[in-house]
Amino acid sequence: MSWFNRVRNSLPFVAKRSTDETLWIKCKGCGEMIFASDYADNLYVCPRCEHHGRIGADTRIAILMDEGFDLLPQPEVKEDPLKFRDSKRYTDRLKAARANNPHRDAFTVASGAIEGQPAVMGVQDFHFMGGSMGMAVGQAFCDGAAEALRRKCGYVVVTAAGGARMQEGILSLMQMPKATVMVRKLRAAGLPYIVLLTDPTTGGVTASYAMLGDVQLAEPGALIGFAGQRVIQETIREQLPEGFQRAEYLHEHGMVDRVVNRHDLKAELAMLLRYMGASEAA
């Protein structure tokens, strides 16, 4: 340690904390350093390159929904039904995830409005075990759809996931048809189901409710796909095109309806809900 650092660290009025983590953020897109406060004020979008950073469920809901929304209770499901253990016990992984997250699992549902348009919103949080889809996520998704059916309003789902939760095995995969049934119920009732794909949305989530929206929106640069690029390249033995599995590529090839900047998402969702009839909800 240099003499300067020794003297600086011994001063009583200098807080011994990492200013890199509290004052500055390094953009994962362009690598530039940004004031953390400016980054937050800009909705966690880099003001230089427009890279959209990953955000948690509570932040996402606060950005997109009007004040006064209510959070639905998170479902109680049987934990660790397979008594799964790899390098750690599944129960220990859940405890660690919950220690760093305000919610019990990766899917949070809010009921309220978006610019006055009644809506239920389900948000997947990648920070909770990679947003993986297990029984709790599947049940929370279905509870959100049921609430939209009860309120006769649109259901907006924001996806961010690494796929199915391996620690729950076949039980996690069963959430795919379970969620699909609820989407069909929304469609039968004539209620809009809108999906916002964020970075990253992959695996079993992409293979189920993430790609079943009446309207598919995506944030700029979001990674969206089923299998990883390396797996695909090794399977087809061809070099994948530049930008493959990014939101703009999927939009160009008809799998996404619109790529929308985070600053414009709330107005975009309100417009879609208004156009699709959600304003008639009770």
Q: Which of 281, 270, 276 is nearest to 148 (CA)?
A: 281
- Residue 246 and residue 157: Cα distance in Å, rounded? 19
Q: Measure Cα distances from 189 to 150, 154, 186, 193, 277 in Å.
A: 11, 10, 5, 11, 12
* Sequence ranges of the binding site: 27, 30, 46, 49
Does residue 140 come out as left (phi exceeding 0), alpha (psi in the -120 to 50 range) or beta?
alpha
**207 contacts 159 by C-beta, under 8 angstroms:** no
* Sequence ranges of the binding site for Zn(2+): 27, 30, 46, 49
